[in-house]
Amino acid sequence: METRHNWTVAEVNALLEKPFMDLLFEAQLVHRQFHPNNYVQVSTLLSIKTGACPEDCKYCPQSAHYRTDVDKERLMEVERVLDAAQKAKNSGSTRFCMGAAWKNPKARDMPLLKEMISGVKGMGLETCMTLGMLDSEQAKELADAGLDYYNHNLDTSPEFYGNIITTRTYQDRLDTLSHVRDAGMKICSGGIIGMGESTNDRAGLLVELANLPVHPESVPINMLVKVKGTPLETAEDVEPFDFVRLIAVARIMMPQSAVRLSAGRENMNEQMQALCFMAGANSIFYGCKLLTTPNPAEDSDMMLFKKLGINSQQVAQKPDEITENELLDRVVERVAARPTADDIFYDASV
């Protein structure tokens, strides 16, 4: 299959309008051509600096522009970050993502960020950060420190973007992605579905991502998590089949990329998630929170993987003969030991 960088919105809309079964079949064929069958890559996301973000992204509970239940917290100590990374590795994650609610990182923060990167890589984990906008020098500094991936989402189409964010431009986001690529890092970039955008806007987002000079290595597709206090708290729910269709089209358009089920999985039942995997999603965030929004419990993910025969890192570590009752016993044990709301894990959109 030819990898393309010249998609049009009309072509994407034509894919989205295909009969559902035909679309999933095509996406699964593409997926099997480029990726291992029945494998889902697992990442853990940690908020290393929470709240008081100067940006006005209407979906984000960390924005200082809105009154939400998210409290402002300073940059986390390196030791706490590394402790969280070790726990993530022990749970089966292969990539550790660190997110900071900034417009852009400051020079004073770079030494600590580089120390975090070095420590996490020393555990044998892939590293990813999302810190806001980067200039070329900052991107080079992070790359030289060993950062593998940088996340910077486009969020939506260029046409709809101004309805969601006014404090940074679409071109600002594209410039950051260019700096990241030029520095030699891999790109993680996707968007959010359910903010009031049209089907054309969803197609436009995928066109922007797929027409980058090199496809993002990772494409997170978020379903809006509606948070009280944000302007989008009453947004209309996303039709599940429409979301699955978008996953399938992302797989077809960016065949070699990892397509990640990101924020919003807490509101997806097992059947919807299974359809997303069938459509070509092959990566998830693992852990009870994503920055500041809810995520399915680790044990729920393991049980779903077991039901679907997905050979994730977690399931691969368990004996083949393990029973569902044994898994449930482990769930009970983990829930009893689960950290409180004051713990270092947070859940929010990437």
Task: Please list the active-site residues.
Answer: 53, 57, 60, 97, 128, 188, 260
Query: Count of H helices and E strands in the chain?
Result: 13, 11
Binding-site entries for [4Fe-4S] cluster: 53, 57, 60
Helix axes 240-253 and 9-16, enclosed angle (nearest 10) = 130
Binding-site entries: 53, 57, 60, 97, 128, 188, 260
**Residue 146 identity:** G
Binding-site entries for [2Fe-2S] cluster: 97, 128, 188, 260
**Residue 56 identity:** D
Return the SS3 of 142. Answer: helix
- Give me the count of residues in the chain: 350
Parallel, antiparallel or unpaired: strands 41-49 and 283-285: parallel
Helix axes 9-16 and 199-210, enclosed angle (nearest 10) = 120
Alpha carbon of 156 to those of 32, 190, 229, 264, 298: distances in Å?
Answer: 28, 8, 21, 16, 29
